[in-house]
């Protein structure tokens, strides 16, 4: 009797997985004919799935929107793959589903885990074009990698920290994103350390793994860090928009403005407000628009010509209190075009 129940359970699981994959295959066939998610019916030739570690991060939301817009001009429908699913799946699970759905291409924030590399190789073996963005799957058969230079980015952060010389005891904490197999944060940390050493300034450099489940966990970890006078840093380096916003809020809430200095990431209105007020000393902006556009350009080139650049670099920009007004004006002018 127990074996019979076991076989029934296995059959049910297989049926559910089959329905999920089947629905995505059916959706893929539909997308290639028409997309009605916008205000008007649009037709596309190619269907591309986009997979990132945290789709709630405002940076990745922007990358997706820019990629989707660029795709419209390249006959490509870009889907935030898995967004309509009630349950949360890992990128590896979603990647497996995208392969089963026979999409034409995949844009993915990858990592170096053996499972990720194997799945990317499986996708390319099935003639699915794979473009990695921000973090790579080194050694995989992906067609292109679109990213900022992590080490150079780390040096930019490190130079900003070094410029804050004379900051109390010189304790510096770098908030790293938790993403198993992704070496990017470690490379950035190395760049920060090297730049500080080269400056000759004396700082105690530490790192802390930031929250994995979004803004709430990020804010809780930062609050714990700032509440304890023994662990509280003089400089807090945030490598994501979520951590930058959380740090800004916590510094204000605990009356630590001027005592804890923030070097942040990205350019949301809230972050730029913090820069204007001098609470956030500076923020480094990796161009979400350039990342989204280049990912789609590489995808289009490979889908139509079977060739694209193996590596495409993305620029980063430093925003401080001195140039934030000019930056806001520039953004406003671009938005009016």
Domain extent listing, the chain: 14-147+289-314, 150-265
Q: DSSP readout, 179-191?
A: -TT--HHHHHHHH
Highest average pLDDT, of 27-41, 71-85, 113-127, 201-215, comes from 113-127
What are the respective helix, strand and coil percentages of the chain, to the nearest 5? 50, 20, 35
Q: Give whole-number Cα distances, 328 to 243, 272, 317, 333, in Å.
A: 22, 8, 13, 9
Of the CATH numbers 3.40.50.10440, 3.40.50.11540, 3.40.190.10, 3.40.50.2300, which one belongs to the domain with range 150-265?
A: 3.40.50.2300
Mean pLDDT of 85-90: 82
Domain pair 14-147+289-314 / 150-265, same fold: yes
Band (pLDDT 50/70/90 cuts) for residue 170 is confident
Name which of 156, 130, 131, 135 is nearest 147 in CA terms: 135
Residue 327 phi/psi, 5-degree rounding, is -65, -45
pTM exceeds 0.85, yes or no: no
CATH class of the domain defined by 14-147+289-314? alpha beta
Span of 139-143, 165-169, 256-260 with lowest mean pLDDT: 165-169
């Amino acid at each position: 009797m127990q074996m019979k129940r076991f076989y029934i359970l296995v059959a049910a699981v297989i049926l559910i997985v089959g329905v999920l994959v089947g629905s995505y295959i059916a959706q893929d066939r539909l997308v290639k004919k028409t997309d009605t998610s916008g205000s008007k019916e649009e037709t596309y030739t190619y269907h591309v799935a986009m997979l990132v570690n945290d789709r709630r991060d405002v940076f990745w939301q922007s990358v997706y929107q820019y990629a989707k817009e660029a795709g419209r001009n390249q006959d490509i429908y870009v889907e935030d793959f898995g967004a309509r699913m009630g349950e949360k799946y890992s990128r590896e699970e979603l990647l497996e589903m995208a392969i089963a759905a026979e999409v034409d291409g995949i844009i993915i924030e990858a990592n170096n885990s053996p499972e990720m590399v194997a799945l990317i190789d499986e996708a390319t073996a099935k003639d699915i074009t794979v473009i990695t963005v921000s973090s790579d799957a080194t050694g995989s058969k992906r067609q292109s990698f679109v990213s900022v230079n992590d080490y150079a980015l780390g040096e930019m952060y490190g130079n900003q920290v070094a410029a804050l010389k004379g900051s109390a005891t010189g304790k510096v904490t770098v908030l790293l994103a938790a993403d198993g197999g992704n070496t990017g944060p470690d490379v950035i940390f190395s760049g920060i350390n090297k730049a500080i050493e080269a400056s000759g300034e004396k700082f105690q450099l530490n790192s802390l793994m930031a929250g994995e489940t979004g803004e709430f966990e990020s804010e809780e970890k930062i609050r714990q860090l700032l509440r304890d006078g023994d662990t509280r840093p003089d400089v807090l380096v945030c490598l994501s928009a979520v951590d930058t916003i959380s740090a800004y809020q916590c510094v204000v809430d605990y009356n630590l403005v001027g005592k804890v200095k923030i070097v942040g990431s990205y350019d949301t209105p809230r972050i730029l407000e913090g820069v204007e007020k001098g609470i956030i000393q500076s923020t480094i902006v990796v161009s979400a628009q350039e990342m989204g556009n280049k990912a789609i350009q590489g995808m289009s080139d490979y889908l139509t010509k079977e060739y694209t650049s193996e590596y495409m670099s993305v620029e980063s920009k430093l925003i401080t209190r001195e140039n934030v007004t000019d930056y806001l004006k520039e953004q406003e002018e671009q938005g009016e075009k």
